[in-house]
Structure 1
Amino acid sequence: MVRVLCVAEKPSISKAITGILSGGQFTTRNTGSNFIKNYDFDYPRTNARFTVTCVAGHLTERRFDDAHNKWHSCDPFALFEAPIVTTIPNDKKAIETNLRSEARNAQTLMIWTDCDREGEHIGMEIVQVCRRSNPQIVVKRARFSAIIAAQIHNAAQNPVELDRAQADAVEARTILDLRLGAAFSRLQTFNLQARFPQQIQELVSYGPCQFPTLGFVVARYEQVQAFVPEPFWYIYMSLTRPLSSDEGDEVVEFTWKRGNIFEHGVAFVIYEGVMRDPLARVTKVTRKETKKWCPLPLTTVELQKSGNRLLRLAPKKILDIAEKLYQEGFLSYPRTETDQFDPQFDFQSLIAKQTADPAWGAFATRLQGDGFQAPRKGKNNDNAHPPIHPTAYAGQLVGDEKRVYEFITRRFLACCSKDAEGWMTIIDVVAGGEDLNSQCFVSLGLVVLERNYLEVYTYDKWTGKTVPEFEEGDEFMPTVCELKEGRTTSPSLLTEADLVGLMDKNGIGTDATIAQHIQTIIDRKYVMARNEGATKYLVPSTLGIGLVEGYNKIGFERSLSKPQLRRETERMMVQVCQGQRTKGEMLAESIEKYQDVYVRARGQFNQIYEVCSS
């Protein structure tokens, strides 16, 4: 019987895998770590004896050698090429010992880490440790997206190869971020503490994702500060009609097609033309079916954006909750860029699990009949994980966990439903005696016929609006026809949901790390949260503004506070994953670019002094 050593990324996953594969029949052994157990059982489906254990995230850490590791040990520029040492920290030594001990007696090592880039890299760390005691061990990779029986058994019986290219990409990024973060953090901290010893006494950290993230916040803040409202003018038209005695009057508003005009004289001339013959004539009545489309399947980025906007939770907290629910078997893997389900996806078995819920169970039941419609397909597919969806019913959750699970479940059920259907009426009118665009108005009416997905996805709104029965050629005298003045409104400060969208659009971080970068600039006090009603806005601190404006004043072709440099790094990571570029090539090219930026920043650091002093 083949002995297989299975290694998961976390204790909760190893325990869940064991419960599924063993059918509950296993023995437990303690290890040198209080948090990690070894589970042993026979797995007849592959004629193997399984031992399931785990690590606790990354096994190794990287630091500079002793000649460069201490803060004042060298010129920060030397860190771009200083030797890097890979070690296993003391709190992971017991895990290392357990892996080496278990690997000695195993013929196969099966990696069960999370199925993403970080998981591939952690898997490679596990391989390196196990091969120190068993160089001949055969390495396999279990690939799964949810802690459910069908997927876990399939992964155990059909393992694949570990993706070394993805592991290389993560290692290259880790080394690059260590070099850049240390070099620029020391540069900033040494210079600013020396110049402002009373004001700046803590670390002034730099991160290649952290600073473009800060740059977005500062840029929006400066737009808001520089905003000067402008007056504009528009023609407002409405018609008031009496209804029955107990219903009052009906006011029908018509929107001016010309929109807002920023020159009063021009607007007044048009208004005078309308008022010379204010009788309004209906030029066209359009009646047609309309739809409100059900939402696309849920990605990690969309979960963070919608969760922040609708649930008022920080993106990092949303991801932390989703990760916990995944480990408990309630959700699929919550880190995915895919917004389209595979055509063979088993929707009905998952929908059936939701029929017991008192809030959405009846809707789920209808989806088992003619209420079901295959979800729309988005444009993204990472070919690794399906969109985020519930994998089991979780009726006992409370607090924020319940809210996050409910949002994901309602989203999934809405995706599997039909679009909302309605009947739209468009009434085009002209006033002023001439059929000119500047004198045309429109009123829209809507009757919602079938709410469909809106019944379960309570976060979307679609409200009907009645309009009178008009026919082409009808004429009426408007009750109100006025030239009104308005003023442009300032753009709002960024919310966390806005920032997630900007980072995703500009390639800053990955879907799984965006939330952490936002949290980092808050923790570093470069950005503060300001609550205005139920909305939390992001406001840069004086230091945050000083750093970004200072680097911008230096006039880099690719500033440290702009997204271009990091976007190029992320693009090269993808090329490493696809085998188009090696880890060494990525590091060499990226380091050369940042060395040039560092030299220029060091030479013109007085620009940052000036901004921070003002």
Structure 2
Amino acid sequence: MVAKILCVAEKPSIAKAVANHLAGSTVPASNVSGIRWLKNYEFDFSFGQPWGHCSVTMTSVAGHLDRLEFDERYRKWNSCDPGSLFDAPVSNIIDKDKQPIARNIKQQARYAKALFIWTDCDREGEHIGSEIRKLAQEANPRIEVKRARFSNIEKAHVLNAARQPIDLDELQANAVAARIELDLRIGASFTRLQTLSLQPLGEELQGLTISYGSCQFPTLGFVVDRYFRVKSFKPEKHWRIEMIHQREGKKVNFRWDRVHLFDRMAATILFERCLAARTAKVVKVQTKPTNKWRPLPLTTVELQKMGSRFLGMDSQRVMKIAEDLYTKGFISYPRTETDQFDRAIDLKKLCEKQKNDPSWGQYASGLCEGGFRTPRAGKNNDRAHPPIHPVIHVTRDKLSPEERKVYEFVVRRFLACCSEDAKGNITTVEVEYGSEIFSSSGLVVLERNYLDVYPYDKWESSSQLPQYSAGEKFVPNEANLVQGKTTPPGYLTEPELIALMDANGIGTDATMAEHIAKIKERQYVMVQARSGGPILPDDDAEEDRGATQRRSRGASSRRGRGASQNGGGSSRTQRSGLQEFIPSTLGVALIQGYDDVGFEVSLSKPFLRKEVSWVK
């Protein structure tokens, strides 16, 4: 008798792709009652020892199946003291919209010999896998459970994963379960405490949910910390020596090696020495090749930062559009920490798919005809998903204006990764003037290479320096002692905030945009456009959506998502709309309040959450 194997993927698109690879052809799907996108694929496959030739049913979930909730008597806000929620009983609940998925798994597992889990190979995937296992074992306690380890859906990689399954990582799954329970208890108790205590203090607070989240508050803390750095900044006067020399009709500005001094008397003495010397001596002339490195493969964090900086959208909007492009099959899964491509992926074939595009097709053709270079490898590999890249070529008429922006960025980034570094020569002239060292540099870009397809990086030739020779002397045309003053830092922009969150382990690539949206929704911060943003390089005058939204279940994301704010415009000369965050009075008061409590580690700082994120 042929054994039956049940395979369950984390997302419908993965289930479809894996089924087609294992079957060797397109597998017809049967619909599952209750959810229009839920499908079962049935085919035969030889797994090798110990299962051999098997009958396979492939299906999927859409992220987490259940959620953690307090028992009924603790759910009303006034039902208990907020502190009692730390000990209140909790249980896992499968929502009504997920129950058809659970029934399908139980029904298919009842007569299966083994369960193969095809969730993402990261912590969240391990926990989702444990939820699938629990349902399957409720229907069939004797079912054997394995998981496939895979990081992309190339056919050879999928076949290898199917024939070399491993066990679920219980430590990873338990770590996620612990984080979910901590987020629920801490978030619910502190949110109730804050809201019930602060609402009576003023009309402005009436009706507001004053929420607390273990990721939400450190995110707010970064904004408030920068705000106070700006407000408390006191400019200091400094002095610098400027030296200018004109030769061959060109004005050369030499930069003082000390940059500037805060002691006026010391700067004046050094300046007088320069004037007394009268002549400057060229001590070094050096011309050497230099490169501007092509970018690393694209990660989620980098997509959010670059999108906020160049595409005129906030990070949540960028991710929403990227998820839509993924759902339509246009780009790879947009939530990944990996910045290195697996050798099994045929990158040249992906370049070939872009050859007919009117904007970058000629460049892609050049890569295919000998210009292709293996992308640089970063230091991160979550072994769950490859870097974000285009899957197929999409014509402009199939995309909305915002989709075109994001898709174009993903394509151009991918082509740039597969290109040669930009190359140039840099000439540096170093001179001694009254015992002080001054220098000037000139860059000549010889080969633009990846810059031709990636306008988001700038590297331009400067005015070429006139000819200087080591040992020669000249009289400067101008020498001045110039007074200046230090300037305050700017308020936090979204790319800066995302970088701080990433460096401090606040949120994941899947949730950072949601935490930022949440502090805006709660009116803890206000957003304003920073003037003078970079110029946009712009040519313009549903199945998996649930999975991408449900992978994280911290307290700050349980209660819904904040409203996104769209950037806009299509003019080539439009500014990017780079946003900066200003904390509201409420946001400042909350952070100062927690800082003034006097805990050894403030709840508004990232340190506690960072420690939790490393729990195993």
Interval containing the TM-score (normalised by the shorter chain)? 0.7 to 0.9
CA contact (8 A) 2:280 2:431 kept: yes
Matches of 1:230 and 1:309 in 2, distance apart?
Answer: 30
Distance change (3 Å), C-alpha of 1:321 and 1:43: farther
Q: Which residue of 2 aligns with 1:196?
A: 202
Match for residue 448 of structure 2 among 446, 451, 459: 451
CA contact (8 A) 1:256 1:442 kept: yes
CA contact (8 A) 2:29 2:39 kept: no
Q: CA RMSD in A?
A: 2.5
Residue 235 of structure 1 aligns to which amino acid in structure 2?
I
Residues 573-612 of structure 1: matches in 2 within 5 Å? Answer: 576=616
Distance change (3 Å), C-alpha of 1:230 and 1:27: closer
Q: Which residue of 1 aligns with 2:431?
A: 429
Matches of 2:58 and 2:316 in 1, distance apart?
Answer: 30
Matches of 1:267 and 1:488 in 2, distance apart?
Answer: 16
Q: Which deviates more, 190-199 or 161-170?
A: 190-199
Distance change (3 Å), C-alpha of 1:421 and 1:494: same
Matches of 2:29 and 2:606 in 1, distance apart?
Answer: 52
Residues 180-579 of structure 1: matches in 2 within 5 Å? Answer: 180-196=186-202, 199-241=205-247, 249-342=249-342, 345-395=345-395, 396-432=398-434, 436=435, 439-465=436-462, 466-533=464-531, 534-572=577-615, 576=616
Q: Deviations over 1:389-432 (max 9, x none)?
A: 33333344442333223222322222222222111111111223
SS at match of 2:320: helix
Distance change (3 Å), C-alpha of 1:386 and 1:329: same
Q: Deviations over 1:335-368 (max 9, x none)?
A: 3333333456543333333333333333333333
Matches of 2:338 and 2:422 in 1, distance apart?
Answer: 24
CA contact (8 A) 2:151 2:383 kept: no
SS at match of 1:119: helix
1:526 deviates by 0.9
Q: Which deviates more, 559-568 or 503-512?
A: 503-512
CA contact (8 A) 2:27 2:41 kept: no
CA contact (8 A) 1:31 1:37 kept: no
Q: Which residue of 2 aligns with 1:2?
A: 3
CA contact (8 A) 1:9 1:57 kept: yes
Q: Which deviates more, 467-476 or 394-403?
A: 394-403
Distance change (3 Å), C-alpha of 1:344 and 1:3: closer
CA contact (8 A) 2:120 2:384 kept: no
Would you say 1:76 and 2:82 are equivalent positions?
yes
Distance change (3 Å), C-alpha of 1:155 and 1:31: farther
CA contact (8 A) 1:290 1:424 kept: yes
Would you say 1:64 and 2:75 are equivalent positions?
no
1:177 deviates by 0.4
Please report the TM-score for the alignment, with normalisation by the length of structure 2.
Answer: 0.85
CA contact (8 A) 1:146 1:333 kept: no
Residue 173 of structure 1 aligns to which amino acid in structure 2?
R
CA contact (8 A) 1:145 1:332 kept: no
Matches of 1:544 and 1:18 in 2, distance apart?
Answer: 49
SS at match of 1:96: helix
CA contact (8 A) 1:29 1:39 kept: no
SS at match of 1:28: strand
CA contact (8 A) 1:145 1:333 kept: no
CA contact (8 A) 2:65 2:131 kept: yes
Residue 65 of structure 1 aligns to which amino acid in structure 2?
D
Distance change (3 Å), C-alpha of 1:148 and 1:512: same
Q: Which deviates more, 171-180 or 38-47?
A: 38-47
Distance change (3 Å), C-alpha of 1:25 and 1:11: closer
Match for residue 96 of structure 2 among 63, 73, 90: 90
Q: Which deviates more, 378-387 or 298-307?
A: 378-387
1:115 deviates by 3.5
Distance change (3 Å), C-alpha of 1:340 and 1:8: closer
Matches of 2:46 and 2:382 in 1, distance apart?
Answer: 33
Matches of 2:5 and 2:120 in 1, distance apart?
Answer: 19
Q: Which deviates more, 548-557 or 359-368?
A: 359-368
Q: Which residue of 1 aligns with 2:561?
A: none
Matches of 2:16 and 2:401 in 1, distance apart?
Answer: 25
Matches of 1:9 and 1:376 in 2, distance apart?
Answer: 29
Matches of 1:387 and 1:494 in 2, distance apart?
Answer: 27
Q: Deviations over 1:46-90 (max 9, x none)?
A: 743333333232211211113322211222111112111211122
SS at match of 1:440: strand
Matches of 2:438 and 2:115 in 1, distance apart?
Answer: 71
Q: Which deviates more, 404-413 or 149-158?
A: 149-158
Residue 228 of structure 2 aligns to which amino acid in structure 1?
E
Please report the TM-score for the alignment, with normalisation by the length of structure 1.
Answer: 0.85
1:155 deviates by 4.1
Q: Which residue of 2 aligns with 1:176?
A: 182
Residue 419 of structure 2 aligns to which amino acid in structure 1?
S
SS at match of 1:368: helix
Q: Which deviates more, 522-531 or 212-221?
A: 522-531
Q: Which has the higher helix share?
A: 1
Matches of 2:597 and 2:427 in 1, distance apart?
Answer: 56
CA contact (8 A) 2:445 2:460 kept: yes
Q: Which deviates more, 307-316 or 143-152?
A: 143-152
1:370 deviates by 4.3
SS at match of 2:371: coil
Q: Deviations over 1:294-353 (max 9, x none)?
A: 222222222222222222322223333333333444433333333333456543333333
Matches of 1:226 and 1:368 in 2, distance apart?
Answer: 55
Matches of 1:362 and 1:153 in 2, distance apart?
Answer: 35
Matches of 1:200 and 1:278 in 2, distance apart?
Answer: 72
Q: Which deviates more, 34-43 or 210-219?
A: 34-43
Distance change (3 Å), C-alpha of 1:326 and 1:38: same
Q: Deviations over 1:257-298 (max 9, x none)?
A: 121122222222222222233332222211111111222222
1:19 deviates by 5.2
CA contact (8 A) 2:150 2:383 kept: no
Aligned-residue identity in percent: 50
Matches of 2:376 and 2:39 in 1, distance apart?
Answer: 43
Residue 437 of structure 2 aligns to which amino acid in structure 1?
C
CA contact (8 A) 1:332 1:390 kept: yes
1:217 deviates by 0.3
Q: Which residue of 1 aligns with 2:571?
A: none
Matches of 1:158 and 1:333 in 2, distance apart?
Answer: 24
Q: Which deviates more, 214-223 or 443-452?
A: 443-452
Residue 477 of structure 2 aligns to which amino acid in structure 1?
T
Q: Which deviates more, 381-390 or 501-510?
A: 381-390
Distance change (3 Å), C-alpha of 1:518 and 1:11: same
Q: Which runs of 5+ in 1 are unaligned?
A: 243-248, 577-614
CA contact (8 A) 1:212 1:562 kept: yes
Residue 352 of structure 1 aligns to which amino acid in structure 2?
E
CA contact (8 A) 1:148 1:329 kept: no
CA contact (8 A) 2:340 2:378 kept: yes
SS at match of 1:224: helix
CA contact (8 A) 2:7 2:56 kept: yes
1:229 deviates by 2.0
